[in-house]
């Protein structure tokens, strides 16, 4: 109980420090990702506050919780025991500083706890990023930086790079790594997007009770999807996602970060639905 309280306090300090912000957003999403051998179901909720401190500085704080359920076929379920549910709590604090009219510096720090069922202080990790946002002209923006992220499953340092081109008031193109997107809006209520993302995550296991001494599971893929978002009311939005996961990997990892078991799950499609409240 003490460990659970300490971890919760760590995440909530920065969250409640910005409890009177200009903008408020709540996201809730449900996503299913079936494959030939294993089905994944992920649900998450996020609460975000955003405030402009002064003419040059803006802060954003986002607290998120997600739950991942894993449904194995009979053969795999016998082999791995109770590896059927995982959870994550993370708090992202971001500050954006306007260096000039054309240049912004963006820094973020993200403590995260990724666990099987029982929270432990050893499940805590620190992620983050630093990015330079450079406006090249009225339509083209360059973003370049570095991040400690879980794009490939385990936390690793990666480069980030993207070009954002505003084709018109209704459409834009983002090309880069780890995210790319083409967006189009035919009116104020509808937005259509084609997205491509490299993404992944990991979860520490409760106990080393497997024959192969695994200490965590890792999951990674490249996801391509079509997303439709509808503004159904002044503050309410619905979104629907349909896509496909490529190069999908689900592995067991030991304490030396070596792969000890590969589920060989293959690729699979993605279906998702979400609701958002924004003010």
Instruction: Round to whole Å and give the CA distance between 147 and 158.
Output: 5
- The DSSP result for 234-252, as a single string, is SSEEEEEEEEEEEEEEEEE
Q: Which residues does the chain have with pLDDT short of 50?
A: 1-3, 6, 13-21
Residue 76 pLDDT: 55
Q: Please tell me the distance from the alpha carbon of residue 3 to that of residue 10, in angstroms, as a whole number.
A: 11
Instruction: Determine contact, residues 263/251, Cβ cutoff 8 Å.
Output: yes
pLDDT at residue 206, rounded to an integer: 84
* Token pair listed for 67: 């739950």
Quick one: pLDDT at residue 4? Answer: 52
Q: Which domains are delineated in the chain?
A: 2-278 (2.40.160)
Q: How far apart are CA 200 and CA 218, in angstroms?
A: 7
pTM: 0.87
Contact (Cβ atoms closer than 8 angstroms) between residue 247 and residue 239? no
Per-residue pLDDT of 78-100, as tens digits, reads 556 678 899 999 999 999 999 99
């Amino acid at each position: 109980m003490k460990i659970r309280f300490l971890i919760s306090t760590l995440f909530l300090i920065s969250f409640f420090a910005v409890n009177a912000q200009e903008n408020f957003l709540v996201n809730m999403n449900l996503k299913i990702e079936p494959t030939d051998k294993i089905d994944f179901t992920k649900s998450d909720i996020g609460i975000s506050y955003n405030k402009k401190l002064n003419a040059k500085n803006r802060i954003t704080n986002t607290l998120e919780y997600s739950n991942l359920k894993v449904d194995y076929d009979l053969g795999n379920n016998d082999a791995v025991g109770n590896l059927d549910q995982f959870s994550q709590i993370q708090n992202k604090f971001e500050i954006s500083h306007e260096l000039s009219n054309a240049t912004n510096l963006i820094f973020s720090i993200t403590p995260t706890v990724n666990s099987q069922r029982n929270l432990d202080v050893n499940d805590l990790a620190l992620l983050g990023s630093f990015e330079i946002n450079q406006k090249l002209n009225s339509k083209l923006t360059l973003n370049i930086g570095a991040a400690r992220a879980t794009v490939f499953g385990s936390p690793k340092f990666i480069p980030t790079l993207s070009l954002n081109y505003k084709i018109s008031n209704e459409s834009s193109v983002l090309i880069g790594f780890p995210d790319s997107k083409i967006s189009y809006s035919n009116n104020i209520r509808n937005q259509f997007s084609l997205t491509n993302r490299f993404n992944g995550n990991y979860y520490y296991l409760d106990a080393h009770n497997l024959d192969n001494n695994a200490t965590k599971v890792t999951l990674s893929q490249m996801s391509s999807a079509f997303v439709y978002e509808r503004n159904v009311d002044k503050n309410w939005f619905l979104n629907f996602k349909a896509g496909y996961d490529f190069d999908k990997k689900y592995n067991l990892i030991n304490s030396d970060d070596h792969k000890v078991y590969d589920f060989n799950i293959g690729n699979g499609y993605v279906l998702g639905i979400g609701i958002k409240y924004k003010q």
